Amino acid sequence: MASTPQDQKDTQAKPATDAPRRGIDADWLQWIAEQRLRNCSPASMLDTMTATGLPAEACRMAIAAVEADPIFAAARRHQQLHAKLSSVAANLQRLWELDPAYTTVERIRKPTREAFIERYVRGCRPVVIEGVADDWPAMQRWQPRTLAQRFGHLDVEVQADRHADRQYERNKLAHRRTVRLADFIGQVLDGGPSNDCYLTANNEALRQPGFAPLLDDVGTLPPICDRSRLAACSSFWLGPAGTVTPLHHDTLMLFHTQLVGSKRWRFVSPLHTPRLYNHFEYYSPIDLSNPDPMRYPDAEGVPVLEVVAGPGDTVFLPLAWWHEVTALEVSVSFSYSNLDLPNHYTYANASISNW
């Protein structure tokens, strides 16, 4: 049962609708609340406000009124819960980092199902499996020129005009364009490094009947995959060197097999989420290649795991790990989430904006 105002008497909160807050508009009141939640002192807030020309007495009254407002008391309770959960995550993360090899992404071959589940799925550790694609015809048949010969006449959906938009991944629906695969491959092979155009997982190529033969080129899967769901749960990626998929997390676990070229993967633990300014869906504004500690101080020093996956390597992405992926060469890869384990997770915060 939800607690009543009577239960919550410890807050000492009083309505403050009578505060004379001349010149202190709603934006300022929100600013005051946010600064107080960050433990800014009333004196320093007063200095900042009066430096903009606001009258000191009105500022003092507004600061006191916010502090006494029951809505602010409710915000404080939520903030305390958030702080508690953040410290639980930080304490668990400290245990993970006791491992001297924490920042190394392991490389393994032919894991057994039991060992893989134990160490990487339940242990929640990114890993590269070598040799998964040894028997995949795709290693030869997905070379870009061969793909152009086989499927060049078909249309695909790519993400284009990304240069003009710093938030191209968040805004990916606005960047959708349909192109002929042969034209796109020509552009990738002749155009040099670029992040402007990329055939990403959001394309539905593998659901088109014309592309069905691609799945026949996929051989043995890692030991926790359900082959019967491959067509429904897989994506095909193709792009030039220089594509960057910015820092985000997925809502399921997946494998990503590199067929052509190489990609650099950078990972950040899900337990560091409170430090990643995750104010919109599954995205973080942190650029791990160009950190900005002035703007994002909490992210400073977050340990980053890094690995380069080349042809034949399969990256396992464990639950909720943040990742940023950069293609180092013309790249063709294949991702699949058809695990035969429960693989659907929800993240309740999903779209808190304007933090």
Ligand X SMILES: O=C(O)CCC(=O)C(=O)O
Contacting residues toward ligand X, per CB under 6 A = 237, 243, 245, 250, 254, 256, 263, 317, 323, 325, 335
Is 288 strand, coil or helix? coil
How many whole angstroms separate alpha carbon 323 and alpha carbon 270? 10
Which amino acid, residue 309?
Answer: A
Six token digits for residue 30: 């929100």
Nearest residue to the partner ligand X, using Cβ: 245
Residue 256's beta-bridge partner residues? Answer: 315, 335
Closer residue to ligand X (CB): 35 or 278: 278
Contact between 275 and 302 (Cβ < 8 Å): yes
What is 50-71 written as a DSSP string?
HHTT--HHHHHHHHHHHHH-HH
State the DSSP code for 221: P
Residue matched to tokens 């659907």 = 344
Closer residue to ligand X (CB): 13 or 247: 247
Distances (CA, A) of 122 to 221, 257, 341, 342, 346: 19, 21, 11, 12, 17
Least CB distance to ligand X at residue 122 (A): 20
Q: At what angle do helices 181-190 and 144-151 cross, to 10 degrees?
A: 160
Least CB distance to ligand X at residue 182 (A): 22
Closer residue to ligand X (CB): 32 or 307: 307
Closest CA to 199 of 250, 260, 139: 260
Contact between 225 and 131 (Cβ < 8 Å): no
Least CB distance to ligand X at residue 268 (A): 13
Closer residue to ligand X (CB): 42 or 311: 311
Least CB distance to ligand X at residue 317 (A): 6
Closer residue to ligand X (CB): 153 or 207: 207
- Residue 94, Cα to own-chain centre: how many angstroms? 21
Contact between 308 and 286 (Cβ < 8 Å): no
Closer residue to ligand X (CB): 95 or 173: 173
Closer residue to ligand X (CB): 203 or 335: 335
What is 256-283 written as a DSSP string?
EEEEES-EEEEEE-GGGGGGTT--BTTB
